[in-house]
Amino acid sequence: MELPDRELITATVARALAEDRATEDITAQLTVAGHTGAANFVARRDGVICGLPCVAEVYRQLGGVTLTPCVADGDRVSAGTVLAAARGDLVALLAGERTALNFLTHLSGIATLTAQFVAAVQGTAAGIYDTRKTIPGLRQLAKYAVRCGGGRNHRMDLAALALVKDNHAAACGSPAAAAAAVKPRLAPGVLLQVEIDALADLEPVIAAGADLVLLDNMTPAQVRAAVAAARGRVELEVSGGVNLATVRAYAAAGAQRISIGALTHSAPQLDCALDFA
């Protein structure tokens, strides 16, 4: 699994440690200064693991602790699995505990939820995609977690793809008008995606040069009709109102992409803990 940029991980972890004032842990300094020990990061629930490089970076920056991973990001684990073994200075080990677990539980939660959606559409042609609905400053890590769960990244940022959404269409008069304004001025190789919420807009946006069409808040029946009307001329993406109970129906309707904001904005944390040996 390709990691986010190493410098980004370093900077993100440094900000998290500074936020927690980890080098000023009053309690640890007054209880365990001068002591060493061993502890394990353990999964308390079944899930898909993500974030171990961040845990390692926490203790690299704090120093005095050796971390030995026992699994890898992207691995499926069961409750009770030891994820990594830590040994060393107890002040550093405890000072970094919460920051390390914050990364591990949040990113593993995203990976686990993504894997559930991927499993729900198994056997269809649909891919599960994320969105830009991420916690500011954590986007690259969140999208990495989606990949660890078997999902795919939509666009990383606003420069990665031209995406005409409802407000662009409203400003220009219609989705097709906005697409027609954008398409001729795109740099070579940059794709154009257009969001529509009515089937009547499908043919006009295809004629305007859309490469991908995002079907917003449509029913599976409407998606099936759009697939038939598009006749393979554009790639179709479903977004809005998709959950684990409905995603299979959307995939069966023939959409090639299903994007789900909940992967990164609403994934429950995967319960993990630091248990002393």
How many independent structural domains does the chain possess? 2
Q: Which of 133, 152, 155, 233 is the catalytic position?
A: 133
Residue 197 counted as domain residue: yes
Q: Which tens digit of pLDDT belongs to each residue from 45-93?
A: 999 999 999 999 999 999 999 999 999 999 999 999 999 999 999 999 9
Bridge partner list, 258: 128, 238
Q: Which of 87, 165, 224, 233 is the catalytic position?
A: 165
Name the pLDDT band for 241 (thresholds 50, 70, 90).
Answer: confident
Under 8 Å CB-to-CB from 231, ≥6 apart: which residues?
Answer: none
Residue 2 known to be catalytic:
no
Same domain for 136 and 76: no
Same domain for 150 and 74: no
Same domain for 190 and 85: no
- State the chain's mean pLDDT as an integer: 97
How far apart are the C-alpha atoms of 181 and 118, rounded to whole Å? 36
Q: Which tens digit of pLDDT belongs to each residue from 150-192?
A: 999 999 999 999 999 999 999 999 999 999 999 999 999 999 9
State residue 4's pLDDT score. 85
Same domain for 184 and 252: yes
Q: Which of 197, 216, 235, 271 is the catalytic position?
A: 216
Residue 1 counted as domain residue: no
Q: Which tens digit of pLDDT belongs to each residue from 19-46?
A: 999 999 999 999 999 999 999 999 999 9
Task: Give the CA angle between residues 213, 182, 219 to the nearest 5°.
Answer: 20
State residue 117's pLDDT score. 98
Do the bridges between strand 82-89 and strand 65-69 make them parallel or antiparallel, or are there none, so unpaired?
A: antiparallel
Residue 147 known to be catalytic:
no
> pTM of the full predicted structure?
0.96
Same domain for 181 and 201: yes
Name the pLDDT band for 2 (thresholds 50, 70, 90).
Answer: confident
Same domain for 231 and 162: yes
How far apart are the C-alpha atoms of 202 and 198, rounded to whole Å? 7
Same domain for 163 and 79: no
| Domain that residue 149 falls in | 123-265
Q: Which of 57, 73, 195, 201 is the catalytic position?
A: 195
Which pairs from 225-228 meet CB under 8 Å and 24+ separation? 225/199, 226/199, 226/202, 227/253, 227/254, 227/255
Residue 221 counted as domain residue: yes
Q: Which of 60, 98, 152, 233 is the catalytic position?
A: 98
Residue 20 known to be catalytic:
no
Residue 165 known to be catalytic:
yes
Residue 235 known to be catalytic:
no
Task: Give the CA angle between residues 138, 126, 240 to the nearest 5°.
Answer: 60
